[in-house]
Chains A and B, each alone.
Chain A
Amino acid sequence: MIRLQGVGKVYRMGKVLVRALEDINLEIEEGEMLAIMGPSGSGKSTLMNILGCLDRPSSGTYLWRGRDVTQLSDDQLSEFRNRWVGFVFQTFNLLPRFSALDNVELPLFYRGVPRRERRRRAREVLELVGLGDRIHHLPSELSGGERQRVAIARAVVGDPRLILADEPTGNLDSRSGGEIMNLFEELNRRGVTVVVVTHDPAIAERAPRRVLLRDGRVERDYRNGREEVMAKDA
């Protein structure tokens, strides 16, 4: 589904160039679940942003189902994210003045789905994540675990093919974190591709495939107890 070829990302901080990613070759199949690990500053978030088309690589190509998406315009990238990708962030990133329901229906709003239909589907996914009785609560009235479940509901409401979760359990205790991972596994079983960034080996254990980043490069890429999976060259 996804093929990154020689992807690099350079940030310019004044005169200093920061190489956040260098020569990343990575292939992700439809329906996979993988964990991305690595020390802080190794480029995990940058990689997620590129996978989710929030950002464009500085070099290399990104093929989505065989189509190069690096040349898309900003608006086309917005549409791409809206249709195919759901983001889950460490800090939840919910709109603070909006109820759970309002937050969840946001992607459908930008897709132009009529209000009634939006509400119905938002309610549905909130029930799916176990918050059917909290739909009118503001984020500030919810616990961390509940907030992250709202965020997951928002990520999946548009029926995306790819869920990108950047340290989704980083701000949660281990029990809530475990519940969040259960949700991701459930989504994965339904056929959604899930990529989770984590520091926690116990969390990473639950993903069949793990990618280790160091200094902006893929250091290891392996499946449970088996040999390393090397990205194929184009």
Chain B
Amino acid sequence: MLENLRAAWRSLSANKLRSFLTMLGVIIGVGAVVCLISLGQGAGAMITSQIRALGSNLIMIASAGRPPLLAEDAEDLVERMPELVRAMPMVSRTVTVKWGRETWETTVQGVTPDLPAIRDFYPLVGRFVQQTDIQARRRVAVVGQTVVDELFGGKLPLGETILLQGQAFTVVGIMERKGEAMGTDQDDVIFIPLTTAQRLLGTKRVNLIYAQVSDDADPSAVVQRITAIFAAKHRRSDTVRVFSQEQLLQTVAEATRTLTIMLAGIAAVSLLVGGIGIMNIMLVSITERTREIGIRKAVGARRNQLLQQFLVESSLLSVMGGVIGITAGWAGSRVVAQIGGWPTALSVQAAALAFGFAVLVGIFFGVYPAWKAANLDPIRALRYE
């Protein structure tokens, strides 16, 4: 076997350019799979972690028409459904905030004291919105880190007065840094009491209710019940959209899986093409080496010895193509990751699969040429010019 490998290596390296071009099909096939699947899984992992970063066991209820969603709906849900640990109504809008001469465009969210527990997002300094703030409609604000950086130039703004749509608010707390999730900066935010926000924005409704499900409840069953409750209350089924964090995660997982299967299909086709390339070159090579085969037969090479020799050659081609392809694909995904700020996860499974498939292709498409070589008539082979 080692002997065969050495001989195969010799005959492949005798024609380096051609060997390389032959491998190219396999290299591109394997490389593309490894690169794309690494990127796809990296993106999937990133989105998943961002969805998890929203909090845990969350259900989102978004207003989608009339009648509108109200703050009381949240209380009502918690009362009627023991599976819900808490529910938080929220109203939000983009506004311009002023501090002295500085201005900054940010999202104001009217929330309740439940937000830190639901979103797993806590104040770092000062305090969060409290129940008394809600009752008294106090004009207090808790600011995110991006606002601290952009509006206050990094200075601690505790106790400062800011203007939201001309109304003065006192900064009573600063949130910890949360980072980016779902493509938005989670720290570019100002939290104020829900009731204050409703008055400020001149509305009675809320945009969204975040509900947190207890650990032992089934989120999809809860989603169905909530949908049913609103359908009964509003006498229409299209006034809210309810979805769980679970469902989002599943959607992402499914999208990633679909993507992976598609890529695998593309890869299979390109590997097939690569395999046909190998067969083609092996056939050419055997024709060119007819005389050599004749000589080998004259000195006593048996059929399966020649069969082995040529199979090892085509397998070696595809194995080397596979190794180079994995390396290139991995390097390619790293480059894309560097340039695009996109996370990658080298999928060992994908690499192993692509590699194994490439080797199989090499053997499969090597069999016919090798068989042909092994069965050449020595007399004809020796007379071949």
Contacts and interface: CB of A to CB of B under 8 A. Distances in A.
A78 B382 contact: no
Given A54-B378, A54-B379, A93-B382, A78 B300 contact: yes
A97 B15 CA distance: 11
B182 interface: no
Given A93-B382, A97-B14, A110 B301 contact: yes
Interface in B1-52: 3, 10-11, 14
Nearest to B13: A97
A78 B376 CA distance: 13
Nearest to B381: A54
Contact of A110 (B14, B305, B379): B305
B296 interface: yes
A110 B378 CA distance: 15
Contacts of A78: 297, 300-303
Interface residues of A, number: 26
Contacts of A75: 302-304
B10 A107 contact: no
A110 B302 contact: yes
B278 to A, nearest CB: 21
Given A93-B291, A97-B14, A82 B379 contact: no
Interface in A86-145: 87, 89, 93-95, 97-98, 106-107, 109-111, 115
B10 A97 contact: yes
A204 B294 CA distance: 28
Contacts, number: 58
Interface string B361-385: 0000000000000000011001000
B260 to A, nearest CB: 44
B298 A93 contact: yes
Interface in A52-92: 52, 54-55, 74-75, 78-79, 81-83, 87, 89
A55 B299 contact: no
A49 interface: yes
The secondary-structure label for the interface of chain A is helix
A154 interface: yes
- Chain B interface residue number, banded: 20 to 34
Contacts of B291: 93
Contacts of B304: 75
A154 B379 CA distance: 19
A110 B296 contact: yes
A107 B291 CA distance: 16
Of B298, B378, B382, the most chain A CB neighbours within 10 A belong to B298
A200 to B, nearest CB: 22
A106 B14 CA distance: 18
Interface in A25-48: none
A75 B305 CA distance: 10
A107 B304 CA distance: 15
B379 A106 contact: no
B145 to A, nearest CB: 68
Given A93-B291, A95-B292, A110-B305, A82 B300 contact: yes
B379 A49 contact: yes
B376 to A, nearest CB: 11
18 contacts: A49-B379, A54-B379, A55-B379, A78-B301, A79-B300, A81-B299, A93-B291, A94-B295, A95-B292, A95-B295, A97-B11, A98-B10, A109-B3, A110-B299, A110-B301, A111-B300, A154-B299, A158-B299
